[in-house]
Amino acid sequence: MTQDFSQLDRNGRLRHLITLDGLDPGLIRELLDRAQGYLCLPGQLPPRGGDLRGWTIANLFAEPSTRTRASFELAALRLGADSLNLDVMLSSRVKGESILDTIYTLQAMQVDVFVIRDAEPGILELVARHVDDHVCVISGGEAHISHPTQGLLDALTIQQSKGGFRDLVVAIVGDIRHSRVARSAYRALTALGVAELRIIAPEEMMPDTGEFTGAIRCRSIDAGIEGADVVMMLRIQRERIAGSATTDLRHYHEQYGLTAARLARADASAVVMHPGPMNRGVEISSEVADGPQSVIRRQVSNGVAIRMAVLAHVAEARGRRMP
């Protein structure tokens, strides 16, 4: 975000959610606590609420998505909002309409919240600068830069599994250089005071040294996950790497794939995370993905709760309720 732009309102509440950068740890904790209240046991009917009654949420996703888009839609519906999924790949944008014209068009249909995923850095802020005063913009993933609700759901999953952050060693493994998930996890976990963060990647997938300050950098997964409490695996972001079709996936699996034998190096009660979509047999083996230490499906459940918490927060902060 540029310096003269703030995603917070005058009261320090979120008007938009574009990044976790600079967010107050107290606000992050508040969102995690709020999300906790939206969780339910498997088989129970999911909690609902009327916080967004009368609101209209539009999902504008210009990159593929399964979990993020579905969970934003369910979150909006469960809070009583109208929810609209616009397939941006099939919208007028491909006919040359600018994103702002699309936004103004939907604003004229009384859309109150735009959830946007885009491959172009800066689009979220651009939209946020141009929407009407009462309208909120929430990131569903911005290029390689930021995926704030994913960072929050990852933090919530770690809090549930480990009871807190203070003494934890968290290892993030894979294509960190091109990963918005890793960047937002880093922001959330640093704010929440995690004891040690390790980033593990081959040279070409390691971020520049100006980023992830304070994290321990490691080339070897075997050394990097030693004694870790949390192991977060990432997909190779092939769509963001020029010439990546040539990555030798078998070799990558041998060098960086998480197998049960490797996982034995982590702490005995370590949990394994993955934001999805998984490439089984590449960055993670099926025995680990489906094994007893995996919290991957819990991350998905937490994703709905976090998105409900964020939507309820911005609605409350705007103070616009149905009469």
Which spans of this chain sit near ligand NCD (rule: CB under 6 A)?
A: 67-68, 141, 147, 150, 180-181, 235, 275-276
**Ramachandran sector of residue 162 (left: φ over 0; alpha: ψ -120 to 50; beta: rest):** alpha
Give the residue with the Cβ less far from ligand NCD, 181 or 270: 181
CB of 235 to ligand NCD, least distance (A): 4
Shortest separation between residue 26's beta carbon and ligand NCD, angstroms:
26
Distance from C-alpha of 185 to C-alpha of 230, rounded to nearest angstrom: 12
Minimum distance of ligand NCD from residue 268's CB (angstroms): 28
Q: Which of 246, 243, 154, 241 is nearest to 206 (CA)?
A: 241
CA distance 247 to 256: 13
Residue 127 or 143 with smaller CB distance to ligand NCD: 143
Closer to ligand NCD by CB, 180 or 253: give it: 180
Return the number of the residue (239 or 290) whose C-beta is nearest ligand NCD: 239
Nearer to ligand NCD, 107 or 184 (CB): 184
DSSP state of 255: H
Shortest separation between residue 278's beta carbon and ligand NCD, angstroms = 9
Smallest distance, Å, CB 32 to ligand NCD? 18
Sequence-distant (≥ 6) Cβ neighbours of residue 310 within 8 angstroms:
14, 17, 31, 75, 138, 149, 152
What's the min distance (Å) between Cβ of 276 and ligand NCD? Answer: 5
CB 63 within 8 A of CB 118: yes
28: which 2 tokens? 């992050």
Q: Which residues pair with 61 in a beta bridge?
A: 87, 117
Nearer to ligand NCD, 135 or 189 (CB): 189
Burial of residue 95 (CB within 10 Å: 0-12, 13-18, 19+) is exposed
Picking from 309, 145, 111, 156, the residue whose alpha carbon sits closest to that of residue 240 is 145
Structure tokens at 112: 């109150």
Minimum gap (Å) between residue 141 Cβ and ligand NCD: 5
| Number of neighbouring beta carbons within 10 Å of residue 97 | 12
- Which residue reads 């999924």 in tokens? 85
Cβ proximity to ligand NCD, 131 vs 200, nearer residue: 200
